[in-house]
Amino acid sequence: MADAGDIIPIVLKGTPASPGVATGPIEVISHRDLNISSEPIHEEDVESHLVKAEKALDHVKNQLIELQATQDNQEIVGILEAQVEIVKDPELLARVNQLIRKENKSAGFALYSAFNEFIQLLQQSGQDWIKDRVIDIQSLRDMIIHQTSGSDVLQNDTEGAVLFTEELSPTELIEFSESEIAAIVMQHGGTTSHSVIIAQSLGIPCVVGVEWKRTQIGKNAIAAVDATAGEIIINPDSRTLNDFIKRERNEEIRRLQTNDIKKLPNQTECGETFFLRGNIEFEEELIRVDEYQAKGIGLLRTETLFLRQGYFDIERHTELYKLILKSTGSYPVVIRLLDVGGDKLPGKKFEEQNPFLGWRGIRMLLDEPLLLKNQLRSAFYAASEFPGRVKLLIPMVSDMSEVKEVKASIDLVKSELIADGISIEDVPVGIMVEVPSVALLADEIAPLVDFFSIGTNDLTQYTLAADRGNERVSKHFNSNHPAIWKLIQMSYDAAKHASIPISVCGEMAGQPVMAAALLGLGIRDLSMNPASITEVKKMLCHSRLDECRELFERLLHSSGGEEADRYANYWTEKF
């Protein structure tokens, strides 16, 4: 045993849950001292305990709802929503009341028992996801019980601290994060527990499954945490501590560089301008479009709104399109027509053996003319308020005839709207290049449309005959395959010849080295998940066009996907 004052480092291991390096004073946050008495209460106290339990549940519910209102991350909002439902659970409430009224249990004990009865049932079901949910429910339970005894765990001084806890509820975590905690070390908690998901999205380093003991933590102890590796050192020696502080600082520098990159103009080292836009689906993502400075929306997916409602709600769609247009300045917004499988239509019940080769996208829309017309109406309503900014994108085109049919449908909708006295803006109509036939016939199709947008994911899976969801063939699914580059080049050449714009909106655009190669080919318009923009911009701002051109040529002329990948890796490292 070490004497007091003779501080020895203690190394602990756990499961990495949210990456990062951090150091700080240790603050122990404990829920274990729950004040629960199993002693029966007096008959005359029953009412007061009923009120106490109700107030505690109400308090936590309101806390959750308030927190929810301050969050813009949809995942966090969803988690908090589920927790609100738990606190409001009628079966839970009934059981708590019964325990207090019929069995004379205290409010704390009744809550504890009622929660545990459900937790036991959940544990019996034996499914994987249950384990982490049980942890979430336990932490919620403890938070409520704390309320009944009037104690508040959130009184510690946590500024810049490394928190050592058994577990934290999502609510506690969000509140602690406001005092800029350095890291979290949890005894329990799975890597998919709700608290961990929140730690990840808030960028707080977190390690779970760490068996720390109170006796290991002396007064004023500090900890160095490498959450990426899952290692924690209590009382690190000065060399280790300095090493950690240096790593912490490097991470900070990288973050700052990101901010610097945001300030750079969207130009290559040699002064060539490019445009990076966002692929989005919900209004909630607009905040990220803004944060990463996307130049408008290169792909607005409209499927989820449709699927959520189960039918096409013209008003809701028009509203969504308008909101997105309103929030994206003077930049374009490309609305992609519904790209869903027909089995998702209300009242349609069938299964296809090969849904990706089946009745979907424009094939389905042309067979469901009312659905197509409704979406076109929504798009025109929105476009009339934001002239010159809306573009329409047709998914899954495989034949020229489909383009002609959609155009006929557009003309019909236009004339109907005009007849109704609604002013109409001309809207450019482009197609997704994602079925190989379109790339092969790009020369013939380009004069018929206003722009091309290459969907590299589907183009890859259709060209290489590799299902992108099938792990067994995942090595065959490689967008960096010369065959794909060849099709992209054909599409680019055709677009150039016909003088129509061409952009890429598949995952390729969001991979820095692939984006550089696309730029090398001549494509200046890339659309991606907004979170990818910074890394892509960093690569493109520091590249020259001639280097990118050479990269493209090398990938195009490689012997296969593997060789192309090797060259892409080499290029990235050189960079």
Partner 1 sequence: MVRKKVRVKNKAGLHARPSSVLVKTASKFDADFYIEMKGYKVNGKSILGVMTLAAEEGAELELILDGEDEYKALESISNLFKTEFGIED
Beta bridge partners of 149: none
- Binding stretches for partner 1 (CB under 8 A): 78-79, 81-82, 85-86, 88-92, 118, 121-122, 125-127, 129-130, 133, 136-137, 194, 304, 307-310, 344, 346
The whole-angstrom separation of Cα 234 and Cα 248 is: 17
Choice between 84 and 400, CB closer to partner 1: 84
Q: For residues 127 and 330, which CB has a smaller minimum distance to partner 1 in the complex? A: 127
Q: Of 171, 408, 390, which Cα lies nearest the Cα of 297? A: 390
Angle between helices 128-148 and 74-87 (to 10 degrees): 60
Determine the residue type at 111: L
Contact 477, 461 (CB under 8 A): yes
Nearer to partner 1, 236 or 342 (CB): 342
> DSSP state, 446?
G
Nearer to partner 1, 46 or 82 (CB): 82
Q: Are 27 and 186 in contact (CB under 8 A)?
A: no
- Token pair, residue 297, equals 């929306």
The least distance separating partner 1 from the CB of residue 258, rounded to whole angstroms, comes to 28
SS (H, E, C) 559-572: CCHHHHHHHHHHHH
Number of Cα atoms under 13 Å in the Cβ half of residue 175: 16
Per the structure block, which two tokens stand in for 438? 């379109």
Q: Is 126 or 150 the residue whose CB approaches partner 1 more closely? A: 126
Q: What are phi and psi of 171, to 5 degrees?
A: -60, -50
Tell the smallest beta-carbon distance from residue 138 to partner 1 (Å). Answer: 13
Minimum distance of partner 1 from residue 93's CB (angstroms): 9
Rank residues 123 and 401 by Cβ distance to partner 1 and give the closer one.
Answer: 123
**Residue 305 beta carbon to partner 1: minimum distance, rounded to whole angstroms:** 9
Residue with smaller CB distance to partner 1, 14 or 342: 342
Q: Is 220 helix (H, G, I), strand (E, B) or coil?
A: coil
Residue number with CB closer to partner 1 (81 or 152): 81
b vs e for 450-476, b when ≥16 Cβ sit within 10 Å of the residue's Cβ? Answer: bbbbbbbbbbbbbbbebebeeeeeeeb
Which of residues 336 and 414 has its CB atom nearest to partner 1 in the complex? Answer: 336
Cβ closer to partner 1: 308 or 404? 308
- Of 122 and 202, which CB lies nearer to partner 1 in the complex structure? 122
Residue 236 Cβ vs partner 1, minimum distance, rounded to whole Å: 38
Q: Kindly state the smallest distance separating residue 91's Cβ from partner 1, in Å.
A: 4
Least spacing, CB of residue 307 vs partner 1, in Å: 5
Q: What is the smallest separation between the CB atom of 165 and partner 1, expressed in angstroms?
A: 21
* Least distance CB 113 / partner 1 (angstroms): 14
Kindly state the smallest distance separating residue 303's Cβ from partner 1, in Å.
Answer: 10
Shortest Cβ 153–partner 1 spacing (Å): 23
Q: How far is the CB of 308 from partner 1 (least distance, A)?
A: 3
CA-nearest of 553, 501, 521, 540 to 272 is 540
Tally the C-alpha atoms within 13 A of residue 544's C-alpha that lie toward its C-beta.
4
Q: How far is the CB of 306 from partner 1 (least distance, A)?
A: 9
Q: Which residues, in sequence order, are bridge partners of residue 341?
A: 360
Q: Which is nearer to partner 1, 9 or 310 (CB)?
A: 310
CA distance 317 to 304: 11
- What is 100-163 written as a DSSP string? HHHH---HHHHHHHHHHHHHHHHHHT--HHHHHHHHHHHHHHHHHHHHHTT--GGGS--TTPEE
Please answer whether residues 509 and 456 qualify as being in contact, where contact means their C-beta atoms are separated by less than 8 angstroms: yes
Could you tell me the two tokens for 257?
């560089």
Q: What are the φ/ψ torsions at residue 549 (nearest 5 degrees)?
A: -60, -45
* CA separation for the pair 177, 158 (Å, rounded): 9
In angstroms, give the least distance from the CB of 137 to partner 1.
Answer: 8
CB closer to partner 1, 310 vs 447:
310
Q: In what order do the strands lie in the sheet with 231-234?
A: 10-13, 231-234, 222-226, 21-29, 162-165, 183-186, 206-208, 15-18
| Bridge partners for 58 per DSSP | none
Q: What is the CA radius of gyration of the chain?
A: 29
Return d(Cα 247, Cα 523) in angstroms, integer. 38
Q: Which is nearer to partner 1, 126 or 265 (CB)?
A: 126
Burial of 126 per CB tally in 10 Å (0-12, 13-18, 19+):
exposed
Rounded to an integer, what distance in angstroms lies between the CA atom of residue 480 and that of residue 367?
35
3-state secondary structure of 227: coil
